[in-house]
Amino acid sequence: MTPIPQPPGEPAAAPPSATSTPPSLGPSAGVSPPLSSADTSSSLSSAGASPSLPSAGASPSRPSSAGMRRARRRDRQVYLSSHPLLFALLAATRRTPVRKLGSTLLVHSPEAFRDGLTRIPLDRTAAGTTGGAAGDLTGGELLFNQDGADHRGSRRGLADALSAEGVQRLRPIWTEVLDRRLAPLAEGTPIDLVDVTAEMAGATAAALLGTDVDPRALAAAARSAAAAAAREHLPGPPRPGARRAARTATAHLTDLLTQPSTCPTPASASTDSPTSAFASPSATASACASASAPAPASASASADGSALAAMLAVAAVNTTVAALPRAAAWCADADLWAYAESAPDALTSELLRVTAPTPLLPRVAAAPGTLGSCPVDAGDRLILVARHAVDAHRTDPCPAAPAPPQVAQLVFGAGSHACPGARLARLQIADALQALARHRPRVTAARVDRRSALPGWSRLILAPTR
């Protein structure tokens, strides 16, 4: 493999150690604890508990430094090939916890990152933010751009759908895909993990939303909508046709999700059905009910339900498709597969930390405040760099001594801005890595996805070694 040039300010990764682990921040309110991948019941790990570790005497040998360097070089390609200038700027400024450039603040430290989400009032509808982009494209009231009681109501609904019980109801959906799509490895046939992951994520999202749309079609539409929206909101002058392309892609996704479906309504859904994850009288139930329940009382309610369903599909699909192939490549290059069998939760936590699927969060301050030593004015742009907040750029994954949960979970946000799908993402990735580990696959080919909304691979070919 051709060595990748090191970007400005990007030092070699430090080996995991007590001195290189990010400082503890204290529990992040609203962040779900990881669900044990070995637990098929509905119980959760206690909040703040450390991920499971190998039992004494069964710990895999420490991965070689050469393997870690190989894994980091490969993973860095997803940044250098898709956003080289942005990556270089962030790397050059990260030594300062918060750097203010005009009306933009680059936020790197874990303390400032968390404060940016929990202590600075944010404008959820501002242009260039996640909520602004989502609301602008769909015209709906979404979790991403809601405030106050509406936001709390939507989060409660999602908490029901993505609770331990809800996730366990969804689990057979993705395990069936894994069993079927990974079977060729047992026969010595390579697979494209990106394609497998897209089907797995699409099937899970379809079940979550209670629609029987084809999983691959849903995944493709969700990835296309996210990529088009990201391109439209890139810094710089307006791009001809970008807005039209984003609206077209979003409309296609919404059309898929509003097709006639067999989704059970909240009143009749079986609690044993995987598609009953939304079967609660909550704000998010409209995402499922809008497809098959009686007509809503108003057109705006139907539009909001469709918009929310589209945005949930975008988030669920794109996060998984970005995270899992990168995590598997790390396992293959750094020889971490043994941890997938002995310490799946710790491995998953560490790989999500070093890959940071959503490496930065663009936000806009709604009121004055302070981040680190920098004053924040209303209207200032905050670029919250999750990758640096969790020390992904410097500390290699170490499942034997993982980062504290309150640090590792920052990749999913904090407080009321924490991702409600963290539990689902963790368990999906842990299950997938466990299923792959028995074949000890290696990477034979990889291609960066230069058009995706999140840094990732468009193709990752894995071949079994046993």
Question: Pairing relation of β-strands 104-107 and 98-101?
Answer: antiparallel
Residue 82 has pLDDT above 60, yes or no: yes
Per-residue confidence (pLDDT) for residue 294, from 0 to 100: 36
Average confidence score pLDDT of the chain: 78
Residue 49 has pLDDT above 60, yes or no: no
- Which helix (H) or strand (E) segment is 363 a member of? strand 360-364
Handedness of CA 140, 145, 150, 152 (dihedral sign): positive
Handedness of CA 84, 314, 158, 43 (dihedral sign): negative
State whether residue 105 is helix, strand or coil: strand
Domain boundaries, the chain: 65-463
Tokens of 188: 């010595």
Q: Which amino acid is present at 244?
A: R
Tokens of 294: 């009686």
Q: Beta partners for 462?
A: 191, 443
- pLDDT average, residue stretch 96-117: 95
- pLDDT average, residue stretch 405-418: 90
- pLDDT average, residue stretch 208-225: 94
Q: Label residue 229 by pLDDT band (50, 70, 90).
A: confident
CB-CB contact of 72 with 387 (8 Å): no
Per-residue confidence (pLDDT) for residue 238, from 0 to 100: 65
- pLDDT average, residue stretch 42-49: 35
pLDDT tens string 255-268: 999 876 554 433 33
Per-residue confidence (pLDDT) for residue 418, from 0 to 100: 87
Per-residue confidence (pLDDT) for residue 130, from 0 to 100: 64
Name the more confident of 311 and 27: 311
- pLDDT average, residue stretch 221-227: 93
Per-residue confidence (pLDDT) for residue 326, from 0 to 100: 98
pLDDT tens string 420-449: 899 999 999 999 999 999 999 999 999 999
How many beta carbons lie within 10 A of that of residue 438, not counting itself?
15
Q: Beta partners for 443?
A: 462
Averaging pLDDT over each range in 69-73, 143-147, 154-158, which range is the top one? Answer: 69-73
Most distant CA atoms of the chain, gap in Å: 62
Tokens of 231: 């391109």
Q: Report the distance separating Cα 15 and Cα 313, nearest Å.
A: 37
Q: Report the distance separating Cα 426 and Cα 406, nearest Å.
A: 15
Residue 299 has pLDDT above 60, yes or no: no
Averaging pLDDT over each range in 39-48, 122-131, 308-317, 328-337, which range is the top one? Answer: 328-337
User: The domain 65-463: what is its CATH number?
Assistant: 1.10.630.10
Q: Label residue 43 by pLDDT band (50, 70, 90).
A: very low
Q: Report the distance separating Cα 344 and Cα 351, nearest Å.
A: 10
For the chain, percent of residues with pLDDT exceeding 90: 53
Name the more confident of 231 and 458: 458
Per-residue confidence (pLDDT) for residue 156, from 0 to 100: 66
Q: Label residue 237 by pLDDT band (50, 70, 90).
A: low
Q: Label residue 279 by pLDDT band (50, 70, 90).
A: very low
Q: Report the distance separating Cα 269 and Cα 210, nearest Å.
A: 10
Lowest mean pLDDT among 76-90, 276-290, 307-321, 398-412: 276-290
For the chain, percent of residues with pLDDT exceeding 70: 69
Q: Report the distance separating Cα 119 and Cα 10, nearest Å.
A: 29
